[in-house]
Amino acid sequence: MEISRRKFLGVGAAAAASLTLDRTARADVLSGSAPGASQLAARPVGGASANGIRGVARAYDMITRQNADTLDAIIAGVNIQELDPDDQSVGLGGLPNEEGVVQLDASCMHGPTRRAGAVGALEDIATPSLVAKAVMDYTDHIMLVGAGAKKFALEMGFKEQNLLTEKSRRDWLRWKACLNPADAWLDTRSDSAGPPPTASIPFDDPLHVKFTTGTINMNAVNAGGDLSSVTTTSGLSWKLPGRVGDSPIIGAGQYCDNTVGAAGSTGRGEANIKTCGAFLIVEFMRQGMSPDEACMKTIDRVIAMTERRLLDNRGRPLFDLQFYALAKDGRFGSAAAYQGARFSVADSQGARLIPMPFRFSRADRPQMPEVRCRRA
């Protein structure tokens, strides 16, 4: 078993400063006292999954230059990917469910006001993070799903649009064609399928179609120590209609407690939901763990809670899962089940991608479940 640990802030004087910061910050978290000047040095900070690198830079900029609220800033950050048709993990262009319909999930929490909002299985609206915030801002509820969520979004003035881009539609058809050699869908790249039809589907993907769980989690803390969190996703590709993962579930896909910190997840939602991962990370930080430690301990808890069919014979999970955390004092951390994931951070040193601590090396990663085309 291999474990990598990223050192907080690096070496030398910066490390010495961080030790001081850690101690005073912990006192701040435990006592709830006003933060001291030394703790302000590391803030503001934004942290996100790797695909949130552009967004976390925007969020940091909004917080520092425009004095924007942390939740407004991180939602503006994730909106970049939600509105990007080339990003197949969230919003417009997200990979669809098994019927070719894009269904989106999102949730958010605002630390200073202790409010939360969420939407699940939302169709035809590209920015579910903003709809989740509207649920938080304009209703007495926390979560709206399906047709009710869409009706609410339209009433709030959100624009209805077809979210299935040409690329995502082709990938979906490719997945269908690979499903079952005995069904009526031909794999037009298979030798046995005969010549492609006139309007052939220009599949440009490799012969394997993987299930993906692309998601963005983003968290931020401002100079005064106020926190917010948001997670948005198109969920598991090719999922059953109506499936919601961890992203819209407060305490699983993201969680924020303004006295402690914020956390969130990407990867297999079904694994995380049973552990309430984001909530657990914040609770571990409340007990005094660093963000890295809290994330890794939660990875271990998820694996311990995973049923046998989703573990290989050495106890390694047959899925990916990543956690991200931010403490009130500005310390950030993360952990992944497998080596190779990266964490987006934006602070006074700029926006950058940081390799994440991991539980298992990439070389040990078992073959993940996938759909294999007949020719493969």
Is residue 246 part of the contact set for ligand GLY (CB under 6 A)? yes
Instruction: Kindly identify the residues of this chain, within the stretch 250-269, that bind ligand GLY according to CB under 6 A.
Output: 266-269
Strand 358-360 relative to strand 321-327, pairing: unpaired
Q: Report DSSP state, residue 368.
A: P
Number of residues that bind ligand GLY (CB under 6 A): 12
Rounded Cα–Cα distance for residues 375 and 14 (Å): 55
Choice from 46, 120, 245, 357 touching ligand GLY (CB under 6 A) = 245
Judged by DSSP in three states, 139 sits in coil
**Active site (annotated) includes residue 215:** yes
Choice from 18, 49, 222, 233 touching ligand GLY (CB under 6 A) = 233
Is residue 275 part of the contact set for ligand GLY (CB under 6 A)? no
Q: Report DSSP state, residue 296.
A: H
Look up tokens 């047959």; give the residue. 318
Alpha carbons within 13 angstroms on the beta-carbon side of residue 259 total 11
Catalytic residue among 127, 213, 215, 266: 215
Judged by DSSP in three states, 311 sits in strand
Q: CB under 6 A: which stretch of 40-48, 80-88, 159-167, 243-251 binds ligand GLY? A: 243-251
For the chain, how far is it from start to end, CA to CA, in angstroms? Answer: 32
Which C-beta is closer to ligand GLY: that of 65 or that of 309? 309
Residue 262 C-alpha from the chain's centroid: 13
CB of 153 to ligand GLY, least distance (A): 19
Choice from 93, 235, 277, 333 touching ligand GLY (CB under 6 A) = 235
CB of 266 to ligand GLY, least distance (A): 6
Cis peptide before 44 (omega within 30 of 0): yes
Q: How many helices (H) and strands (E) does the chain have?
A: 10, 15
Strand 115-122 relative to strand 143-145, pairing: parallel
- Binding pattern for the stretch 83-122 against ligand GLY, x by CB under 6 A and - elsewhere: ----------------------------------------
Choice from 64, 215, 229, 339 touching ligand GLY (CB under 6 A) = 215
Partners of 347 in the β-ladder: 350
Contact 124, 146 (CB under 8 A): no
Strand 227-233 relative to strand 104-110, pairing: antiparallel
Which C-beta is closer to ligand GLY: that of 35 or that of 214? 214
Rounded Cα–Cα distance for residues 73 and 227 (Å): 11
The CA-based dihedral angle spanning residues 77, 82, 88, 89, taken in that order and rounded to the nearest 10 degrees: 60
CB of 321 to ligand GLY, least distance (A): 8
Choice from 129, 247, 306, 322 touching ligand GLY (CB under 6 A) = 247
Which C-beta is closer to ligand GLY: that of 222 or that of 266? 266
Which C-beta is closer to ligand GLY: that of 235 or that of 317? 235
Q: CB under 6 A: which stretch of 25-33, 69-77, 241-249, 353-361 binds ligand GLY? A: 241-249
CB of 220 to ligand GLY, least distance (A): 20
Which C-beta is closer to ligand GLY: that of 106 or that of 373? 106
Give Cα separations from 367 to 210, 240, 306 (angstroms).
11, 23, 17
Q: Which residues of this chain interact with ligand GLY, rule CB under 6 A?
A: 213, 215, 233, 235-236, 245-247, 266-269
| Active-site residue list | 215
